[in-house]
Structure 1
Amino acid sequence: MSEVGVPFTFIHAADLHLDSPFKGLAKAPAAVRDRLRESTFAALDGLCSLAEREKADFVVLSGDLFDAADRSLRAQLRLQRALGEMTKRGTQVFITHGNHDPESGRQAKLDWPPGVFVFGSSQVDCYAALSRDGGEIIANVYGISYPTRVVSDNLALRFKKREGAPFHIAVLHANVDSNPAHDNYAPCRLDELASSGFDYWALGHVHDRRVLREYPHVVYPGNLQGRSVRETGSKGAYVVEVSGTGVVQLRFQDIADVLWQELPVSIEGMRREQELQDRMLAVLEEARSASGGRATLARIRLVGQGPLHASLLQNGRADEWLEGLRESVHSPEETEDWIWPESLSVRTGSRMQAFEEEGFLGDLARRGSEAANCPDTAKALLEEATEELRRQPKIREWLDGRTDEEREQWIRQALELAVSLLREEEAD
């Protein structure tokens, strides 16, 4: 723990993805599309307000400020203006670029406001962070940007402390311990970061906020604004307070403009469609009320076992339910805190009696259930079943991107359909 002497506050944010296109919402109302299109900029405005409210001495932005290497001019101008507002109030800003916005990307020739420091890609640079009144050095901030989109080198090994400051912050866009859920760019190990001598590793790249270690702190703040139903819940930045004795306190601040939520609804005990409709609408209203006045996009995930399962699997039935929900909620044109059902997924099951049977049906049910509960077996079965389809690159890429939960559900549904068809054949 460093002996700082002068307490200070900084904000750690990453993965702004300004001007993200939010694809796949062509059927959403214009008010939904417009709100989403503006949401990354609204989150940036929220970051500016947070810096002023907290009287932050400086802000570190750990990569992927832009959504694409060829940054939109709109995004560059909005960022330039926002950073200008921060710096004129006495808050410095330190920036690295990541895999989405590497140095090689096309960018306009714009001047950054005084007090904004952008790390280059040829070496790890070091800048002095000053107290908000500009009086003295409170920290050294180190960083390196990506020269191109794909960086496979361990950039963390290049960081070396320099004398002249009481606290040392390393800013890096990287995958720590090769997290399989994310591209393995700038891979490094947690033990390497912990033994490096730095007081705080301000990381970017992983969109879920995570504190991997304390003293020294190794932190992912997550992204500022969720961009799909895979990025649900609170999104924002960490306010980091460092005391005069070097004690670090983290406080997460949710500043997302639009929330993404996945809302499970169980069909257990339901026998009538009216019960399901009432429950789905109630869950949507609960989520809207809990949004803090913000807009919400929600995926309804139907789960559990019950008599309604068979009807939910009928062709087009899920789409009909989704359309009905959209017609039943408040219109996004009428209120700011709207909730829009983005999609509806059916993950339900039926209580098959075939598990207890002897003979082929029982054996099929038991073996299918065992396969569904083993991710490796489920993946192997699906690869075998889709061998012909996998010859198409785009289809293969889509199939490889499915989760273990999705594979399990496909096998369970295939199993239930097979058992149902065999029973019908026996009856005939």
Structure 2
Amino acid sequence: MKAFRFIHAADLHLDSPYRGIASLPDRLREQVRSSAFGAVNRLVELAVRERVDFVVIAGDVYDTKDRSLRAQLKFQGALEALAGQGIPAFVIHGNHDPVQGGYTAHLRWPESVVTFGWEEVESVVVKGRDEEPIARVSGISFRTASVTDNLSAGFRNWNDGLYHIGLLHSNVDGDPQHDNYAPCRKQELLQRGVDYWALGHIHTRAILHERPWIVYPGNIQGRHFRETGARGCYLADVSSSGDTSLAFHSLDEVRWIEGSVDISSLSTEQELKEALEDAVETLREDAAGRPALARLRLTGRGPLHAALRREGSAGELAARLREQERLEADAGIVWVDAIEDRTGAPVDRERLNGQPGFLGDLLRLSQEIGADPDEWAGLKEEAFAAVKAQPQLQALLNELNDEELREWLQEAEELVIDMLAGEAEMGMKP
């Protein structure tokens, strides 16, 4: 077989609404709104610069089934740019942009673009620039938004000596943070005669297996603070012997990013202000010249905890950091959306846990519940029973992951310590 290279991308989510950005400065707000389109431009530029043989896109090109004309024209333009450079593209649709049930404009797509249908797994042979076969790509799209069938069952081994790429939008092994659409097991994928599973749906990049490869590239542009860090695609090089090497390339135009500052060694508000400014500069470097939306988390135990508990303190610090960014906007803006206070009073938590009495009992009980899966599930069920009767509140609750709920439990523990430990236990003067 011939050596070749291809790009694996997924989850473009063109025209994502980007909620909660109304308070951003005008220029930054527009950069966020257009960031997915900018990421697509970067995808095309990467494909041309690296002279790839083809591009595969594993679903959720658009954010909704009623895809906007703007988004469809943008995607058409990107595929036309690829076609103009002799780079074909192979596309499937996922749960956000299923084939049926939404608005689809009547547009002319390049002949080099293959969009796989939903009725069965389809397969095509890919030819190189010399018209010789280099690979086989198989794929299947979502018919509707809620596909619960195991679509991987339709893939098979063609035994034709070609490197086989399978395009699938799926939740492999039931990731609890994502809807369980087109579910399948990793062990099943290993038995389908596919050399490289080009997956979509999970927005955090992950390599689940090598040889055969099972790969999520993640989405190409983060959309909120659950999608922090670099976002992009994988560039895959396949040798004449079928060996595969992957390189991640960031494509995001705007980066969502998080940082932290430990207050344990800080004793004054001035020291805290300077530590926050240093953290912003570190985030600026991490964003690599992109505009960044940031959240900073204050952690640790120390004397500044009491000052931070004053109403509005964290918000005032964040506002000051934003004011400084307006003066330095041309240096790669880092817009601090919020500062989260996760600090604790300067107490010996282990000593409190071991003390007799109400506070010690309460902290021990909280620790036991958090460590026992059944007890933790029962607490959540009881605590949110009233919420589940309200559809809108239930929808908000569904967006919270387990880590966030555990942070609530930890915050409740710290609140109890603040209220009940007393000044003597905190090492303060009466």
Task: Please indicate the TM-score interval, normalised by the length of the shorter structure.
Answer: over 0.9
How many Å separate the matches in 2 of 1:84 and 1:413?
52
Q: Deviations over 1:195-226 (max 9, x none)?
A: 11111111111111111111111111111111
C-alpha displacement of 1:424: 6.9
Structure 1 residues 91 and 416: CA distance shift in structure 2, 3 A: closer
- Aligned position for 1:121: 118
- Aligned position for 2:196: 200
Structure 1 residues 251 and 411: CA distance shift in structure 2, 3 A: closer
Q: Is the 8 A contact 1:379 1:407 kept in 2?
A: no
Equivalent residue for 1:404, pick from 402, 405, 420 = 402
- Aligned position for 2:54: 58
- Aligned position for 1:297: 293
Number of aligned residues: 421
C-alpha displacement of 1:50: 0.8
C-alpha displacement of 1:398: 2.2
| Counterpart residue identity of residue 156, structure 1 | S
Q: Kindly, what percent of the aligned residue pairs are identical?
A: 44
- Aligned position for 1:364: 362
Q: Deviations over 1:20-57 (max 9, x none)?
A: 11111111111111001111111101111111111111
SS at match of 2:337: strand
Equivalent residue for 1:340, pick from 313, 335, 359 = 335
C-alpha displacement of 1:177: 0.8
Matching of residues 250-289 of structure 1 within 5 Å:
250-289=246-285
Equivalent residue for 1:103, pick from 99, 106, 109 = 99
Structure 1 residues 100 and 356: CA distance shift in structure 2, 3 A: same
C-alpha displacement of 1:404: 3.3
C-alpha displacement of 1:272: 1.3
- Aligned position for 2:307: 311
Q: Is the 8 A contact 2:345 2:418 kept in 1?
A: no
- Aligned position for 1:14: 10
How many Å separate the matches in 1 of 2:160 and 2:376?
56
Q: Is the 8 A contact 1:378 1:411 kept in 2?
A: no
More displaced 10-residue stretch of structure 1: 411-420 or 43-52: 411-420
More displaced 10-residue stretch of structure 1: 395-404 or 22-31: 395-404
SS at match of 2:249: strand
SS at match of 1:329: helix
Q: Deviations over 1:68-115 (max 9, x none)?
A: 111111111111111101011111100000001101221111111120
Scaled by the length of structure 2, the TM-score of the pair is: 0.92
C-alpha displacement of 1:336: 6.2
- Aligned position for 1:417: 415
Scaled by the length of structure 1, the TM-score of the pair is: 0.92
Matching of residues 11-410 of structure 1 within 5 Å:
11-104=7-100, 105-131=102-128, 133-162=129-158, 164=160, 166-331=162-327, 334-335=329-330, 337-352=332-347, 354-372=352-370, 374=372, 377-410=375-408
How many Å separate the matches in 2 of 1:402 and 1:206?
16
- Aligned position for 2:428: none
| Counterpart residue identity of residue 228, structure 2 | T
Q: Is the 8 A contact 1:295 1:336 kept in 2?
A: no
Structure 1 residues 226 and 193: CA distance shift in structure 2, 3 A: same
Q: Is the 8 A contact 1:124 1:158 kept in 2?
A: yes
Q: Is the 8 A contact 1:331 1:338 kept in 2?
A: no
Q: Is the 8 A contact 1:144 1:171 kept in 2?
A: yes
C-alpha displacement of 1:325: 1.7
Structure 1 residues 197 and 387: CA distance shift in structure 2, 3 A: closer
How many Å separate the matches in 2 of 1:357 and 1:163?
69
| Counterpart residue identity of residue 397, structure 2 | L
How many Å separate the matches in 1 of 2:122 and 2:406?
48
| Counterpart residue identity of residue 108, structure 1 | A
- Aligned position for 2:427: none
| Counterpart residue identity of residue 310, structure 1 | A
Structure 2, unmatched stretches of 5+, are 425-430
Q: Is the 8 A contact 2:4 2:237 kept in 1?
A: yes
Structure 1 residues 419 and 92: CA distance shift in structure 2, 3 A: closer
How many Å separate the matches in 1 of 2:332 and 2:51?
29
Q: Deviations over 1:235-294 (max 9, x none)?
A: 111111111111111111112111111111111122211111111111111211332221
How many Å separate the matches in 2 of 1:423 and 1:54?
61
Q: Deviations over 1:157-180 (max 9, x none)?
A: 011233556211110100111111
Structure 1 residues 266 and 163: CA distance shift in structure 2, 3 A: same
- Give the root-mean-square deviation of aligned CA atoms: 2.2
| Counterpart residue identity of residue 74, structure 2 | R
Q: Is the 8 A contact 1:294 1:336 kept in 2?
A: no
SS at match of 2:365: helix
Q: Is the 8 A contact 1:375 1:408 kept in 2?
A: no
C-alpha displacement of 1:389: 3.8
More displaced 10-residue stretch of structure 1: 165-174 or 310-319: 310-319
Structure 1 residues 307 and 403: CA distance shift in structure 2, 3 A: farther
How many Å separate the matches in 1 of 2:313 and 2:369?
27
